Amino acid sequence: MPAERAGFTVTMFLVDVSPSMGKIREVEVPDGANGESMTVEMTNLEYALQFVKLKVQEMIYHGRKTEQCGLILFGTDDTDNTVNEKNGGYEHVSEYIPILQPDVRTLAKISGIEPSETTGDAIDALIVGIETQQEYLERKPSWTRKIVLITDGESPIEIEDWEATVSKMNALKISLTVVGVDFDDDELPFHEQGKSDIKRTNESFYHTFTSKLERGVVGNAEFALQELARPEIKQVKSQPSVFVLRVGDVESRAEEAIEIYVKTYKYTAKASLPSIKRFARRVKGDDEDESRMQLDDDEDKVIWTQLARRTEYFIDRGDGEEDSEGDAEDERKGDALEKVEKEELVRGFKYGASYVPCPDDTFPKLPTLKGIEICGFFKAKHFKRWQEMGEVYYVFGDTDKAMQQVALSSLVKAMAKSEEKFAIARWVKKDGGEPKVGVMWPMTIEGQMDYLMWVQMPFADDIRNFPFGSLDKLVSKTNNTVTSHPYLPTKEQESAMDRFVDEMDLMNAGEKNEEGEREPWFDVRLSYNPALHRMKQALLHAAVVDDISKNPLPPPHPELTKYFDPPLRVLKRARDAIEECKDLFKVREVPAKVTRARKDGHVRARDEDEDMLLLDKTAKRPPTSSQMPTTQRAFASQHAGPSPKAKRKPEARSGDDSSATESETEPESDAEDLLVNKGKGAHLPTPTRSPEPDRGRASGRIIGNTYPLDDFRQNIARGDVVTKAVEDLGDIIKEVVAKPFASRRTEEMLQCMRVLRKVALEEDEIDAWNAFLRQLHEVCLESKPGNKEFWTHVQGEGRTISLISKSEASKFGGTSDVTDAYAAEFIHQQ
Amino acid sequence: MSSYDDWNKLDDDEDVELEDAGYLEGNKDVILFCIDCSPSMQELYDDERYEDVQTCRLFTALEAAMQIQKKKVIVGPNDSVGIMLFNTTRRNEATAGQGAEIKKGTYVYQPIATIDAPKVQELMRLLDAVRDKPKLLSQEFPPLTESRVPMGDVFTSCNWVMRDGASKTAVKRVFLITDEDDPHPGPTHDRLAKSAKTTLEDLLQAGVTVEPFFISSEDKSFDPSKFYSFVLSPTNVIEDAESGGAVLPESISIARVEDLLSQMRFHEVPKRAFFSTRLQLAEGFVIGVKGYTPVTERKKGKHEYFYDLGDRMVVAKSRSIMVDDMSHAYADKSEILSGMTLGKASMDEEKEDAEQAVGVARVTQANMRPFYTQDEINSFRTMGLEPMIKLLGFKDISELAYEDNVKHSTFIYPDEMTYSGSKRTFTALLRTMVRKKKIGIALGLARRNSTPTFYAMLPQLPKTDESGWDDPPGIHLIPLPFADDIRAARVERAYQANSELEKMARAWIDKITVRQGGYPPDTYPNPSLAYHNAQLEAAAFREEFDAESFEDLSKPKYDMIHKRAGQLMRAWKEALLVDETANTVTETAGTKRKADVTVNEAEIRSMNDYGTLAKLRVDQLKDGCQVRVFLDAQLGNPRCSQALRNAHEFCKSKSLPSSGKKADLMERVGEWLEAHP
């Protein structure tokens, strides 16, 4: 299908509001939270109007001035239309929304449509629609005309002379879509039980009618709604840019230098996700204006307003010198920040601790000359595909000039010849623009055309040479190459992998082509961006329904998830190979280390006599002095039994995401170590020895049960695991107080809490503290066995141990959702 | 901002995916240069680069430290640096904060602090002074001549300096620079080595890593096995569990003193994973991997807003809030919901509208919620997937088209620490893929805030290429474009060259083809970034920026091109001008104009002389101008000036409104003719 011109369209919606449209139907909505199937009741009219709303919403989404629509009702009690005004007749047809670019109020108006007391004639409405559209487009003959007729087909139609209407519509190139409520559809499949005669007649009439149209279709409303969820690519036409492709010095050696005029177009351009706006309930003030009170007569209405983003600036007058050291700054956050106006500020850059004013946004720019310059060529086989950095461009010879085309073609053909070559090309998009360096490779279509494609490549600044160890050369301490080691695959493992790769091959796993041969599975050109289309679907849905909770978003269209799993036939074929691999490779999830590996490095000295691999320390290290307490701790926690509280932050590692090593909530610093610590689960890496039996220990903790406070202080001193330490200590306190004989440790635990609260306050772990304290309250008072006595002790500490309130938090630059009053009250709760 | 930056500009209102650069640059990085001052480090020798200038290793080390400071300050303005020297008799003042009590024989030259201009300049001044008077260095930092400071003391001092100066959350590293591979020969060796090892462990426990830079020379190659492999290896290896089988930790660098700076450059950015996640090869067959970004576009530093307090400037912190435009009320973060735009209400419409008091708003029943919560939005964005890379199958490597690209790739390496057996599985997979010439196709959600993306998994075996680039073993994840990201070609046919022209083009192409290797990123530092940074530095140093001395290294090497291929290029051009196809008159709307264009220079000139230029049609003028320039360029007419090329660009543009511009064109052509009699 040739790309339609985007926009420049008027769509007329003709909506049947005859009494029959008020019939109630049950509509299935996605399963509720607990998997129960849910339905909602709505009238046929409301149901069918969803289609109109989605269509209108899409127009709002595109935001094009030239995408307009109008809405005409038929079956209205009165009459208000342009044909009736001129010629009379055409009764019970009313223009409801004049042709305009729709916005949210259009949607609100559509929501207000209700069934009437009278029946109306669809053909009358069609003629009114054609006329209204024609009047509007009188001077815009190139616009696309669409008419959508929404009906249940239950009202009589005067079908005389319909051929004239057909020829008129064909003459005007109008496309007609009839969306029929409960129309029969073999493909869906759907056949209405007990269909009325009149509806049957009407349905067949619509089929005849549209078949005579050049652009006509009848569809079942349900099917139409489904189809609207199908991902549709927003066609964007690439805009050409004109450049000169230069080789050599055109300034001073023009007799030799080459200039070729080229046009560039984007080949890939990352489509951005639909933009989200923020909304909030408008708070009703005391001076709620009268007009609105009249507007929504009942109190139960809520006004949602679109929010705007505003940036505010704050400064810290502090006292001492400017000190951007993190700690110093955090501690001083107590000195309340002062709000300043943007106008008072000077723009500039930081040069370390120094300040460089630069009010004009940027320094003078590097003088450059627009154009693409070839710096040299290299052999294609040396190209590193992974270094490509961005979107890809077509480079065509100037489309108007044969000479330019031939010039570029000779260059391309020469590059593509036997030993293919790529060009290194520096591209400046406008005079004074920033140069980018990229490569161009030749593309030739035999007997048709030759062109280049350009992609940006990294500058020296963009490359990071991270060092990585070899994966297959292992050298022992005695400088011998090791050939067999848990890090190295065995012959057996390699051949299992060999089979796995063969069986998982996708080259002939796709659809069959015309010759009956299977094509490769997965085609970039058919892979829709699931996030983009899902978001779009969600946003459109929200615009159409009034309550997301009652009417949640239907599941994504299957097109979006078709590439989410390997094709079934491949999985079936590979089943044995997969099982073999699982058996042979024996990959196991590793429990998080209790202490950081680097801490117990010194144990190395002990097993020096072993001919051990340097890199393999962690794998073979026996329990070490610093790990010893862990075992004891583990013992202790075994006694505690599986505590439900041991599972922390379920949202972060719920379900099968046991190794989710995301650290968004953590400060990014020292990410690797945090990641390692955060995992949980089974065992030491590479089980070359028999597994250790201490499964019951609280895995993943950096703080043990035995000397929690010492552990905590040590970890806090380290600085980079504060969040984890705070979380762990809180869990330990909860565990300890829930255990028998907890009273022996009451004072210790109280001390822990004092320290924990202080750290939480200072290190901005306020939410963690507040959550902890609430849980502790629950553990002590509401769960079994509980520890009422401990809570009494906590209460004895008074307000200073309670929830951290807003005002307290703000002194340390943090935030809290707890009011002072509540914090004071909480600690006295029973 | 340049147009390039606008290309990728994201909607301001969007939940922008974490910028890749952010994770590397958002962190604070602390480097303590720990430099040996022993007599051998201070021994003077002739500088390779300058005549009659003497230098020493200490000088080079300090210079490298200065260069790294200059570089770091631009990349991470919050990074801190300090310089500590050892094996010197110079002592810190007892009262002087950091380093006041450090071990004898060690000296804090620059305490750890955020890099700032005066400090860099201080070091530069010292270096300048030393360059004039090389002896100055040994006066400034008198070497310990009879003995060496125990390395244990050096590490202890480092520890204290770090403790005093570095913030808790920073990534802390010591760059140890020495040329002595056996600092403690003789009977004390074992004892001192052991104590060095212990103190180094303390350092590591404090979260500080040591990255040694050992200086090796022709006379004396540095043998780490004498002392350092015992001291460094076990701990460092454990510290970085990913290091491979090399005897020494990979972070050790042994190089000639001249290469010190480039070695340090490699370590300038601490190696940090971009993500750590699972790679699912099949259901129940999962290994751990870490992802890195070896290629990320480095951009100019962000500008900030400063407030003048009178005596000093402070940075203003910005906070972005959501407000109700009508009531100007702040919205409570927890109450904010998301949805799509309600469209813009135009002002005059609004006046007539009864809903004017509402503004752009939506009204529902009180118990209804027409918008999504942030959690719901996230679940739509991620399609409910958890972070993971899921293999879908394998394809021939030829299926990976060059043009299927939208952004830079990431690099994954097995992570034995999350799944044991990851390395052997990964290695087997890697080898098999390379042997069978396969790529993997995978679906991935690299991080929790990403959106699902399809990747091509491109295997890479270790290889050192001619440019000395080390390709590490691993798999590149190349994000594939979606159907939504691909645009169709707008040009479907074009004239093609014959084999004669092709051969002639090949002749000059061959001459300017590099013999070895592929695209060399190291050759092309980003010129606009360097230009910006040079100005930033000059401003910070309160110096004049010398634009003249700036060299754009990304420009083609014209001399080389012309020397090697000039004649061949000229020959190709001459052949092109007389080529039959090239002179085809295109069958487009412009055909007639094309034909008319054969007004040659002489005709135009005479028309100009007689003042009849106005008789030409606009398009003739345009094309006349254009053809002249093109012919000039092609025939090598040196008179083809810049001004005319501009004129040409102007003429060429088809968006040019043809009315009213004729005078301009006439003027332009006239000017040109006058300028070129």
Give percent of chain A with pLDDT exceeding 70.
Answer: 79
* Chain B CB within 8 Å of residue A658 CB: no
Residue A618 belongs to a domain: no
For residues B249 and B240, is the Cβ–Cβ distance under 8 A?
yes
Contact call for residues A795 and A828 (beta carbons, < 8 A):
yes
Q: How far, in Å, CA of A735 to CA of A739, rounded?
A: 7
Residues 6+ apart with CB under 8 A from B227: B151, B181, B182, B183, B184, B189, B193
A/B interface, count of CB pairs below 8 Å: 988
Q: In B, which residues are within 8 Å of A478 by CB distance?
A: none
Interface of B with A in 35-64 (CB under 8 A): none
Cα gap A174→A224, rounded to integer Å: 19
Rounded to a whole number, what is the distance in Å from the CA of B26 to chain A's nearest CA? 8
The shortest CB-CB distance from B483 to any of A248, A316, A526 is to A526
Clarify whether residues A641 and A720 are in a common domain: yes
Q: DSSP secondary structure string, B168-182?
A: TTSEEEEEEEES-S-
Residues A252 and A187 in one domain: no
The H helix count followed by the E strand count for chain B is 21, 23
Most B CBs within 10 Å: which of A362, A462, A618, as the mutation test of the B interface?
Answer: A462
Is A401 found in the same domain as A315? yes
Number of domains in chain A: 3
Q: Decide if B571 touches A, using CB distance below 8 A.
A: no
Cα distance between residue B409 and residue A386, in whole Å:
6
pLDDT above 80 (res A406): yes
Asked if residue A785 has a cis previous peptide bond (ω within 30° of 0), the answer is yes
CA distances (Å), origin A493, targets A180, B416, B423, B608? 60, 17, 12, 84
SS3 A54: helix
Per the model's pLDDT, the better-predicted residue between A781 and A165 turns out to be: A165
Is the minimum CB–CB distance between B234 and chain A shorter than 8 Å?
A: yes
Q: Which two tokens stand for residue A96?
A: 């409801």
Question: Bigger pLDDT: B383 or A360?
Answer: B383
For residue A409, the chain B residues in CB contact (below 8 A) are 494-497, 501
Whether residue B397 lies within 8 A of chain A, CB to CB, comes out as no
In angstroms, how far is CA B547 from the centroid of its own chain?
Answer: 22
A587 touches chain B (CB under 8 A): yes
pLDDT of residue A22: 92
* Token pair for B47: 């500088």
Residue A549: both structure tokens together? 């909770």
| A49: CATH | 3.40.50.410
Compare CB distances from B27 to A376, A498, A669 and report the shortest one's residue: A669
A296 touching chain B per CB within 8 A: yes
Chain B contact present for A282, CB below 8 A: yes
Average pLDDT, chain A: 78
| List of chain B residues with pLDDT < 50 | 1-25, 234-250, 345-358, 467, 588-600, 616-662
- Do residue A505 and residue B635 have CB atoms under 8 angstroms apart? no
Q: What is the pLDDT of residue A573?
A: 93
Average confidence (pLDDT) over A325-348:
64
Rounded CA separation A671/B291 (Å): 12
Q: How many CA atoms lie within 13 A of B457 on its CB side?
A: 29
Whether B584 and chain A come into contact, CB under 8 Å, resolves to yes
Task: Based on the fold, state whether residues A182 and A246 are members of the same structural domain.
Answer: no
pLDDT above 70 (res A440): yes
Instruction: Using the predicted structure, report yes or no on whether residue A198 has a pLDDT greater than 50.
Output: yes
Average pLDDT rounded to a whole number, residues A215-222? 89
Quickly count: other Cβ atoms within 10 Å of residue A359's Cβ: 8
Q: Could you tell me if B418 lies within 8 Å of chain A, comparing CB atoms? A: yes
Q: Which residue has the tokens 């028999």?
A: A690
- Mean per-residue pLDDT, A734-745: 80
Scored b (16 or more CB within 10 A) or e, A495-509 reads ebbbbbbebbbbeeb
Identify the CATH number of the domain in which residue A753 sits: 1.25.40.240
Question: Do A261 and A188 share a structural domain?
Answer: no
For strands A9-16 and A67-74, give the pairing. Answer: parallel
Q: Which stretch of A443-452, A777-786, B118-127, B186-195 has the lowest confidence by average pLDDT?
A: A777-786
Whether A805 contacts A820, CB under 8 Å: yes
Name the strand (E) or helix (H) holding B158. Answer: helix B151-165
Give the strands of the sheet with B171-178, arranged side by side.
B106-114, B80-86, B29-36, B171-178, B208-215, B253-255
What pLDDT is attached to residue B642?
A: 40
Per-residue confidence (pLDDT) for residue B245, from 0 to 100? 33
Q: Does domain B499-577 have CATH number 3.40.50.300?
A: no
Nearest residue on chain B to A402, alpha-carbon basis = B582
- Tell me what pLDDT residue B657 has: 31
Beta bridge partners of A476: A613
Q: Which domain holds residue A203?
A: 9-228
Q: Report the residue from A280, A434, A718 with minimal CB separation from B335.
A: A280
| Residue of A356, A391, A689 to mutate for B, most B C-beta atoms under 10 A | A356
Q: Please indicate if any CB of chain B lies within 8 Å of the CB of A483.
A: no
Same domain, A674 and A812: yes
Q: Which residue has the tokens 């069959």?
A: A512
Q: Which of B358, B386, B409 sits opposite A660 (nearest CB)?
A: B386
Residue A20 in any domain: the answer is yes
- Domain B29-267 falls under CATH 1.10.150.120: no
Pairwise CA distance, residues A822 & A828, whole Å: 10
Q: Are A400 and A257 in contact (CB under 8 A)?
A: no
Tell me whether residue A139 is in a domain.
yes
Tell me which chain B residues have a C-beta less than 8 angstroms from the C-beta of A402: 495, 581-586
A217 and A337 share one domain: no
Residue of B564 and A299 predicted with greater confidence = B564
Contact yes or no for B436 and A502 at CB 8 A: yes
- For residue B493, give the nearest of A370, A449, A526 by CB distance: A449
Cβ distance of B513 and A376 shorter than 8 Å = yes
Specify whether A365 is located in the same domain as A387. Answer: yes
A474-475 vs A436-445, strand pairing mode: unpaired
Q: A216 lies in a domain?
A: yes
Q: Which helix (H) or strand (E) is B213 found in, with range?
A: strand B208-215
Q: Which of B296, B263, B632, B511 is nearest to A390 (CA)?
A: B296
Give the distance from residue B107's alpha carbon to the nearest chain A alpha carbon, in angstroms.
23
Query: Which comes out higher in pLDDT, residue A815 or B594?
Result: A815
Question: Which chain A residues in 349-368 lie under 8 Å from chain B, judged by CB atoms?
Answer: 349-358, 361-366, 368
- Let me know whether A161 and A300 are in one domain: no
Q: What is the pLDDT of residue A151?
A: 94
Tokens, residue A10 = 């008027």
Q: Do B116 and A459 touch (CB under 8 A)?
A: no
The per-residue b/e assignment along A28-60, b for 16 or more CB within 10 angstroms, e otherwise, is ebeeeeeeeeeeeebbbbbbbbbbbbbbbbbbb
Q: Can you give A441-510 as a three-state secondary structure string?
A: EEEEECCCEEEEEEEECCCHHHECCCCCCCCCCEEECCCCEECCCCCCCCHHHHHHHHHHHHHCECCCCC
Domain boundaries, chain B: 29-267, 275-282+287-296+379-485, 499-577, 585-675
- If asked whether residues A164 and A258 sit together in one domain, one would say no
- Residues B273 and A671: beta-carbon distance below 8 Å: yes
Residue A58 is assigned to a structural domain of this protein = yes
**pLDDT digits 0-9 by tens, A486-498:** 888 999 999 999 9
Neighbours of A621 (CB within 10 A): 19
Give every CB contact of residue B336 below 8 A, 6+ residues apart in sequence. A278, A279, A280, A307, B322, B374
Among B8, B146, B210, which residue's Cα sits nearest to residue A390?
B8
Is residue A563 situated within a structural domain? no
Give kind and range of the element (H or E) at residue B531.
helix B527-540
| B129 touches A: beta carbon within 8 Å | no
Residue A169 confidence (pLDDT): 93
Establish if A413 touches chain B: CB-CB under 8 angstroms.
yes
Query: Across the interface, which of B281, B395, B406 has its CB nearest the CB of A507?
Result: B395
Domain B29-267 shares a fold with domain B275-282+287-296+379-485 = no
CATH number of B275-282+287-296+379-485: 2.40.290.10
Q: For residue B273, what are the CA distances in angstroms to A75, A663, A672, B406, B420?
A: 66, 11, 6, 22, 19
Residue A151 sits in the same domain as residue A297: no
Tell me, yes or no, whether A243 and A222 share the same domain. Answer: no
Report pLDDT for A675: 35
Let me know how long chain B is. 677
Query: Which CATH number belongs to the domain containing residue A336 in this structure?
Result: 2.40.290.10
Query: In B, residues 532-551, which contact A (CB 8 Å cutoff)?
Result: 532, 535-537, 539-540, 545, 547, 550
Determine the distance in angstroms separating the CA of B189 from the nearest CA of chain A, rounded to an integer.
16
Interchain contact A249–B (C-beta under 8 A): yes
* Chain A, nearest residue to B252 by Cα: A467
Distance, in angstroms, between B146 CA and closest chain A CA? 32
**3-state class of B255 per DSSP?**
strand
| Residues of A in Cβ contact (< 8 Å) with B458 | 385-386
DSSP string, B10-70: PPTTS-PPPPHHHHHHSS-EEEEEEEE-SHHHH--EE-SSSTT-EE-HHHHHHHHHHHHHH
Shortest CA distance to B439 belongs to which of B386, B480, B470? B480
Residue A542 has pLDDT above 70, yes or no: yes
Point out the domain boundary residue: A434, A466, A498: A466
Residue B11's alpha-carbon distances to A276, A307, A536, B323, B592, in angstroms, are 9, 15, 15, 18, 46
CA distance B34 to B109: 10
SS (H, E, C) A496-549: HHHHHHHHCECCCCCCECCCCCECCCCCHHHCCCHHHHHHHHHHHHHHHCCCCC
Residue A362 pLDDT greater than 50, yes or no: yes
